[in-house]
Amino acid sequence: MTAFTRRAALLGGAAATALAACGQKASDTLTPASGPMAAKAVPPEGWESGLTIASRIAAGETTSLAEVEKAIARAEAVNGDLNAIATTSFDQARAVAAHPAPGTFSGVPTFIKDLLDWEGTQTLWGSRAFVGNISQKDSPFATAWRNAGVVSLGKSTTPEMGLTSTTEPLVTGATHNPWDLSRMPGGSSGGAAALVAARVVPFAHASDGGGSIRIPASTCGVFGLKPSRGRLDARNAGDAPPVDISVNHAVTITVQDSIELFRVAEKNDGAYTPLGEISTLNRPLRIGFAPESISGTHVSPETTAALEDVAQLCRELGHEVRDYKVPLNGAEFTDKFLMYWAAGAAEFAQQASAYSGKPIGPDIVEPWTLGLVSMFQARQSEFPEIIGYLKAFEAAYDDWFNDMDVLLTPVTGSPAVPIGDQAPDGDFDTVMESVLNFAAFTAPMNVSGAASMSVPLSWSSGGLPIGSMFSAKRGQDDLLFELAMQLEMTRPWISRTPPVSAL
């Protein structure tokens, strides 16, 4: 590509503004080794990070109850527009806030995604089949967050069983994007990303089985890192599926909140070296730039331009950015992953039937889920071969990094699409086409177990966020955090708030 030589055109308004604020030219941009500081990141008035809130509570400058009440007020102010809360547990939160557990985030209010068991609260799994399902105990990941002292205000919305890239479940209705209420917030952690983007809470729990942290982080303009497989507490022992694609973590505004949330949930079982000291990256990286979809689906011109701009920004930071063609039969990979995804839908439908006492059908699960079930049933005999292909993929993915450190791609094929384009009760084939075009980049990192993140560095001409996805090998979460801190310092996003905001 010739985009990297079009330096003046591609640097972008956001970067130019940041550089002008500290009196520097594009050619003076911070390099990994040295250089002037970028524009100071100034939070919007009335907003504080999770770590700041926790430190103020610890210092006696505020109380957990006071912070919980403020967060409840913020939630009530915007949720009528966003519809991002599946279940509230405000009274339970007030009781917990009176004596929060000690920990890194002691007393800090947040929301838990409606796919995670949090003792004493309803877990719908985004489904009508599970109305009234009260969790009797925490999941392992929830325990880690509870031990860190967080206070849950309730459950954030998610599509049915997290099975699609929008958040429009029939049980609670569509969740709206705070940057444009006619647009979806992404999925499946759409409610979490919408609440964080609207500054209701500084961070929220999220999970990612095929892009479900990174996609809504991109469409809502927040930071979201998908941890390496097995790095954080995720599930009960013995519950791992044949190919473990799903992880838990968070969506945040600041990178530092994400780092510390990562620390409190680390398993530290010897499989990985615990996350050490993380500082701003101070060395150049070899970055492979792959702006095209692996399966050849359409990528919007604004998304391509945004990623070219970010690639140029990385060059300005001293990194070596080279064009990269992903060595993968994208159509084959997408087909295999989609069939594995459909198998998960079939398993969920059985669980919904068992819980509700009703046969699998449109009364208990959504048409989108039923369509995936039908796909699986039609090709169920292929499942052993599909598992073998996906298990072998991690080694193939690792080979991509023989000559590079990090891969830069879009997160999605376009900014957030209109609500209804991926509605779970829409025509199955039409919805499938929209999903495959939109969510075309994230699944390889789930299958490989790799670390991957969406960084909010760009906005469209219409004001919609466009995330940039940086991915590394499994276990290199620290490298991505270091790069994220460098990008956050160079092109800060903390002051950018959407039209629908609780501040």
Residue given tokens 């068992």 in the structure block: 354
Cα 404 to Cα 365: distance, rounded to the nearest angstrom: 44
**Cβ neighbours of residue 424 closer than 8 Å, sequence gap 6 or more:** 159, 160, 164, 168, 169, 170, 366, 367, 368, 369, 431
Which among 106, 113, 152, 226 is annotated as catalytic? Answer: 113
User: Helices H, strands E: what count in the chain?
Assistant: 16, 11
Cα 53 to Cα 65: distance, rounded to the nearest angstrom: 12
The number of residues in the chain equals: 503
Q: Angle at Cα 427 formed by Cα 421 and Cα 432, nearest 5°?
A: 65
113 in active site: yes
List helix spans (H) across 27-181: 50-58, 64-82, 90-98, 140-147
Phi first, then psi, for residue 467 (nearest 5°) are: -80, 155
212 in active site: yes
Q: How far is C-alpha 339 from the geometric centre of its chain's CA atoms?
A: 22
Amino acid code (one letter) for 4: F
Bond before 381 cis per omega within 30 degrees: no
Structure tokens of 186? 């992404």
448 in active site: no
Which among 49, 165, 188, 434 is annotated as catalytic? Answer: 188
The catalytic residues are 113, 188, 212
